Structure formats: C-alpha cells, structure tokens
Chain A
Amino acid sequence: MEEPSPSPDPPTNQFGSLNDLAHELASLEDLATRGSWRSILDKVSRARSLNLLTSPHDHLIYLSYNVLAFSKLRRFSEASNEIDTLDDFNSNYYKYETYPRLYPNRSGSMIPFSLRFIHAQLPIKLGNRQEGLDRFYLLLKFIREKIKEKESNNLRDSVRIWKRRENSILNCLIGHHLGDKEFSLCLDLIKDLINRDYLDPVLVSKLGYIQMQIGDIEGAKGSFNRVETMLNEKRSYEYFLGEVQFRNLVNRNKALVYLVGKDYVSAVREYEECIERDHTDVVALNNKALCLMYLRDLSDSIKLLEKALERIPTIALDETLVINLCSMYELAYVNHSEIKRTLNNWIVHVAPDDFDASCTRV
C-alpha cells in the first residue's frame, strides 16, 4: 500500500470527536445504532467507489463495518469473503510503524479487534463449528500473549483493554459450548474466569442459570446466594453495574428459583418488583408473561407481551420474545395466521435490518 501524505490536522485534535478517528465515523456509528445495516453497506460501497478513504486505518475501519453489517444481516459467506480480501492480520501492512509519516510515534497493530472476533465466530454461523472453536482458542492464546507483552512494557491502559477482550472472548466461548450442551466445559471456563479475577455478579448469575439448565437446582441456589452476598458486600459500581440493575438481577434470580419449584405466583411477584423499578427490564417482562401462561392466564400473558412491544419497541423487540408471543397466538387462536400477519407487518415497519423476521413463522 502506498503511503499517502498526512492530513494537516495538528496532533491535539486527533481525538476530538468520532470523525477524527475515521472518515465520517459518526455517521457510520449512527447508522449502526439504528440497526440500518443495509445503509452501512451502501455507505461503505460509496466511499470506496468515490475514493473517499485515504488512510490505511480508514480502509480497515470501513472494512470492519462492512463485515459487521454482512454478519448482522446473516449474510455470512459475504462477510467471510470480505475478511479474506485481507492479508494475514499480523502482516506489516496493518502496523502503524509501517507508515511513520501518517502515525508518528505510534506502533502496533491497527487492525480493529472486532475483525479477529468476527473471523472466529463466522465459521460457527456457517456450520463449521470445529473451525470456529479452533479459531477462538487460538485467538485466546493470542490475547494472552498480548497481555503478557503489554504487562512487561508497563502499558497499563493497553493491559486493561486486552484483559477486557479476554473476558469477552471467554464469555463468548461459554455461550457456544452452552449452545452445544457441553456443560462441563462451560463450568470449567467459568472457573477459569473466576480464577482470573473476572468475578462479577452477572457472571455468577449466569453460572446459576447453567446449573439450572443442567438440573442442579441446589447448585444454582448456591450461586444466587453468592450474588446476593456480593450485593451486600460491595458497592454496585465496583462491578460496573447500576444499583437498579443489580437489584433487578437479584430479584430475577429469585424468580427463577420460584419458577423451577412451580411457584409461579411468587415468581410473578418478583418480576413485578423488577418492572416497577425498571419498566425496561425486558427479561422480567418476558419471563413474567411465561409465568402467567403457566398460571393458566394465556390472555394476560399475550397482553403483557403486546404492550411491551408497543411501549418500548427498541428494547422489547427481541426474537425470543416474539417467538414466545407467536407460540401463545398459536395456542390461543384456531385461526392464528391473521394475528401473526398483523404482528409481522408491524415488525417490518419498526424493526432494525438485523431482526430475523422468520421468527414469526408466518
């Protein structure tokens, strides 16, 4: 790649706003948060054809958004092909020091980390699970080497960032193993996270959910008790959790224990406390609706989900919630296609590009 001449920005303005980080990044980011992934594909395509991208990091960031957009739209082959247009991630082409005039006094990789993550997850979505898992474990090894390297060079901020990446990748791996019912592996990975000091009430709660999924109810109760202890011992901000979120987490955990014991009335009560505290707690809303159904109140469970979608669509519009609502429609109405079609039409107007509308089974 030829080294273009540097733009005349003085160094202090490099980090003023998003647009200083990459060409029209603010617009890309805005589109992404709206879920307008198709528009992002258009924007990237346009920027490329009009040669609007000048520096190497611009190209890489735009490529990352493109790959992410394809992935969100479930166009996994196209995402994979796009990544394949790159050289090896660790190539010198993608290092700051290769372009000293553009990036004075900066060294290291300019690859956005999300590319590595997406590169590992894509094979799994394409049905090649073993390849994906291999890539994830190699990525984990790569991250750990980076952490060691940054630690030995005393780069505290980098260490923090790479540790956060390690945490996310481990969590992602747990999710994949969980989906395949490899429970012992999940428990081992969680142990690993706890031993590396990534102990946190949300993680311990998820450990509880896994134990429940297996059927180890006593183990789950133990984990939930531990979460409550954590709530009482430390201030919530020390766990990067808001006070309201922490309390709702505890209530939701209690509700699950009641649910498993078939005490749906008490479970509903716990969820109502959550909703009262935070009317956007979609997990509480969804799970309360299910409890109402197990209490033989199909009508109210349907109403609850419909109202949630109406009131807080940007939070409640979740494929799982919609699947639940459609299952309830199928039970409640002999001729359920009409009502499902109405729901589907509404979704088409409101939903982001990445919403998988096939969940309505219309």
Chain B
Amino acid sequence: MSTAPQGTHSLAFRVMRLCKPSFHVDPPFRIDPADLFVGEDIFDDPLAAANLPPILSTQLSKSMDSSDLTYGNRFLLQHPSDAMGFSGLLLLPQSFGAIYLGETFCSYISINNNSNFEVRDIIIKAEIQTERQRILLLDTTKSPVESIRAGGRYDFIVEHDVKELGAHTLVCTALYNDSDGERKYLPQFFKFVVANPLSVRTKEITYLEACIENHTKTNLYMDQVEFEPAPHWSATVLKADELHPAYNSSTGEVFKPPILIRSGGGIQNYLYQLKLASPDSAQMKVEGTNILGKLQITWRTNLGELGRLQTQQILGTPISHKEVELQILEIPSLINLDKSFSVHLNLTNHTDRELGPFEVRLSQDSVHGEKNVMINGLQTMVLPQVGAFASSDFHLNLIATKLGVQKISGITVSDTREKTFDLLPDVEIFVESD
C-alpha cells in the first residue's frame, strides 16, 4: 500500500489504520476435571459423589491461585463461560479492511528515525487526496518538530470523515534537516478505495417505502433510520408489532432484538406514512415537483464504529390533484341479469370555487370492448352546480347483460364543455340469474 521513493532517507513513515479493535473469539479445548479423570456417570455412585469433589476442586483451585506458575488456565475450565473462548480481550485491526462512504477514516502515523543520527526542524504534513480535492489533516509548518533523535519517533493520529467515493491517497510528507545539514524531502503515499455501503430504493404514494440494501462485508446494526420530511409534510414511521418480545418474566426486562442487516446484499425495509401538514399546502401539490424529504441513515459496525449517510431529496410522483371526485357509496347486494339496479354515487368538489353543471356518462372506451354493464335509460345524467368544498349525492340506474363477475367501468364525470374531471375506478359486481 505504501510507495516510498528510493534513496537514503533517515526518516520513514509507518502507517496503521485505527478502526475500532475487535473482540477475539475462539472456543478452546478446555476441560473440567470431572470430565477427564473419571467416567461421565460416576456420580451416580453415592460413594464417588461423596468422595470425588475434594480431589477435583483441589485441582481447579490450584490453577486459579495467582501464585500458580503453571499453564493450568489454558487447559482447565475455571468458569462455564470459559468454554465460549470470548474473554473480552481486544485485538488490534489486523488488516486495512474495507472502507465505506459515511465512515470515518482514522490512522496512526509514526515517523521513525531509523538512522544513527539526529534529524532537525521537521515539517510534517498529512493530506488526503481524492479526485476532487486535497484535504489537509495535519501540518506542523507553524511549529516544526525540533528534532527526532537516532532511533526515535514522532507519532500522530489523523481522522477524516469520508464523503467521496473511489480512490483516496493518504499523502505523508516530511521536510527535514538531516545530519549533514542537507534539507531533505520525504513523500510517502498510502492508497485506499472508498466504496458505497448502501443503496436506497424508494416507492411511494402517500406512503414511502424505503428499501436499504447492505453492500458491505460486515453486518450493519441500524442505529437510526429517520425520514426528514420536507416542509409541508409530516412523516410517521410504521412498524409491525413485535412478534416475540424477548420478555423474561424472571428478570422482568425486555431484551430488545437489534435490527441487523446481513452483509453482502441483506435488505431491510422501512415504511413511512406521509401527510400534508396543512390543507393550504394542497397548492404545493398542484405545482409540479413534489419534494418529500430525505432519509438520514446511521449505522454501526464492530464495537460501535459509526457510519452516516443522507440520501438526496426524495421526490414524489406528481400527484394528480382531483378537483372533482366521484365515489360509489352503495351497490345493491343482489343484482339480477337484465334487471335495472340503482347505484348510489357521490360527487365532491375539492376546489374553492363553485363548479358545474356536470355530466355523468359511460365513456366509450374501445380498450374494454363491449361493456356488460350499461346505464339504463338516458345515457347522460346532468347534475347541477356544486359549491366550493361541497358534495352532492345522486343515483344512477345500471343494467347488467351478462352473468357472473362483471365490472362497472368507465363512469366518467365531466363538465358541459367536455373537460373530464374524474373516472370512477372499476368496481366488480356479481350478476345472478332471476
């Protein structure tokens, strides 16, 4: 990963990524004396049960004595959970690993003087270079390090929030006076690549469903996934009721299962219900682009290592704002073939001005071919004007010409100048014979 130039430098950079350490886990071959010295059922024998424990416990307590200078602790089980091989011992990161957008890059940088002479007046710089920019992380120009003795070291730790994808280079440079008084320049480069950790797909109407997919190599613990609605909108997250709260009655506590997205393609969905904050903002809906808001995602990996991302503005599909709406209120439960039946409908004026008069008819839509449910009687029904935000009920006589499951479709309301306001969605009915 490091490319250092050839040449006689007294100094050299050593670099180690300092992400969080991890817990070491490795179930060992550790034994309880009662499982090795004797047969497994020997304690059924009352003589053995009475006489064995002293011998066995002597062995164990010897190994637990801090003055014991044997390796008994590597072989005997001193506590049942020793069998887990998970003592809480932390292990330093053993490799650079993968790094993702939204995480924090942290590195230990050590500049060593591996010569036999002192070096002086060292100006050290550390920068991150990406395609787009150069970010300074450390610069000792204003107060250079006075000296580093032979065999000595100057250490620093740098942190950088990763906000770009792709190739990154950690550029470490040192400008120093070596033992001959010569001013030398040492650059060293450490390259790494930043990948995309998540993809977010959304689907919505007045509900927003976000599907988060994990592209990393580790499981992600979803700390917070929040939808920040745009002004005019309010959002409520919808959650399923917990199926099995791990409720332990003896301890009286709820053990909350974590939300973990599996590595390499695991998916978690989140559902939000969006409401307009006030009726006035209905105007915003009509005016074209419909910004709903952004998703803020915070996740954690090993030992709480934090990652954060925000999506771009999520847009809603332009909502067709209904000025006039047709709804079916009631359909008779029994509908007979070739017999007229009455359907109760409602027309609502959602605007702030009086509209109408209206015409309700069955649209001649060639896609559906011949209709099996038709208006009985006059093919156009005329309705008088309806005031602002008011509604009007009416009845339509229909007749079905075929048996079985049929559709009432194509009922349209328009104004007298042929402007269509609304098309009633298809409704299924069952037509029986007499």
- Report the Cα distance A324→B24, complex, angstroms: 11
> Cβ of A106: which chain B residues have Cβ within 8 Å of it?
42, 44-45, 48
Q: Are B81 and A171 in contact (CB under 8 A)?
A: yes
Contact of B94 among A60, A214, A327 (CB under 8 A): A327
CA distance A145 to B42 in the complex (A): 17
| Complex interface residues of chain B between 37 and 67 (CB less than 8 A to chain A) | 37-45, 47-49, 51-52, 55, 59, 62-63, 66
> Is the beta-carbon distance between A327 and B305 smaller than 8 angstroms?
no
A167's partner among B72, B80, B155, B258 (CB-CB below 8 A) is B80
Query: Contact between B305 and A215 (Cβ–Cβ < 8 Å)?
Result: yes
Interface residue tally of chain B, by bracket? 35 or more
Is B301 within 8 A of A108, CB to CB? no
Residue of B nearest to A353 (CB): B71
Nearest residue, chain B, Cβ from A294 = B18
CB pair B66 A280 closer than 8 Å: yes
* Nearest CB of chain A from residue B297's CB, rounded to whole Å: 13
A203 in contact (CB, < 8 A)? yes
> Which of B106-114, B225-233, B394-402, B425-433 sits within the interface?
B106-114
Selected interface stretch from B85-93, B131-139, B274-282, B354-362: B85-93
Proximity string of chain A (236-250) to chain B, C-beta cutoff 8 Å, 1 when within and 0 when not: 000011000000000
Q: Whole-angstrom distance from the CB of B36 to the nearest CB of chain A?
A: 5
In whole angstroms, what is the CA distance A240 to B32 when docked? 15
* A157 lies within 8 A of B39 (CB): no
Per-residue 0/1 for A171-201: is the Cβ within 8 Å of any B Cβ (1 yes, 0 no)? 1101110110101100100010011001110
Q: Is the CB of B35 within 8 A of A112?
A: yes
Q: Pick the residue among B43, B68, B87 that contacts A283 (CB under 8 A).
A: B87
| Least Cβ–Cβ distance between A315 and chain B, in angstroms | 7
Given contacts A203-B81, A332-B110, contact A17 B55 (CB under 8 A): yes
Decide if the interface of chain B is mainly helix, strand, loop or mixed: mixed
CB distance from B35 to the nearest CB of A (A): 4
- Asked if B344 is an interface residue, CB under 8 A from chain A, the answer is no
Q: Is A169 positioned at the interface, with any CB of B under 8 Å from its CB?
A: yes
Q: Is the CB of A114 within 8 A of B257?
A: no
Question: Are A68 and B84 closer than 8 Å at their CB atoms?
Answer: no
The residues in B between 101 and 119 inclusive whose CB is less than 8 angstroms from any CB of A are 108, 110, 112, 114
A111 in the interface, Cβ–Cβ < 8 Å? Answer: yes
Verify if B26 is at the interface (C-beta below 8 Å from A): yes
Q: Are A290 and B21 in contact (CB under 8 A)?
A: yes
Cβ of B210 within 8 Å of any chain A Cβ, yes or no, is no
Instruction: Enumerate 7 A-B pairs (CB-CB under 8 Å) in ascending A order.
Output: A15-B48, A106-B48, A153-B44, A178-B84, A183-B219, A183-B258, A212-B23
Interface residues of B (CB under 8 A from A): 12, 14-16, 18, 20-27, 29, 31-32, 34-45, 47-49, 51-52, 55, 59, 62-63, 66, 68-77, 79-92, 94, 108, 110, 112, 114, 153, 155-157, 218-221, 223, 246, 248, 250-251, 253, 255-258, 260, 263, 299-305
- The 5 tightest CB contacts between A and B, nearest first, are A108-B41, A215-B300, A110-B39, A215-B221, A15-B51
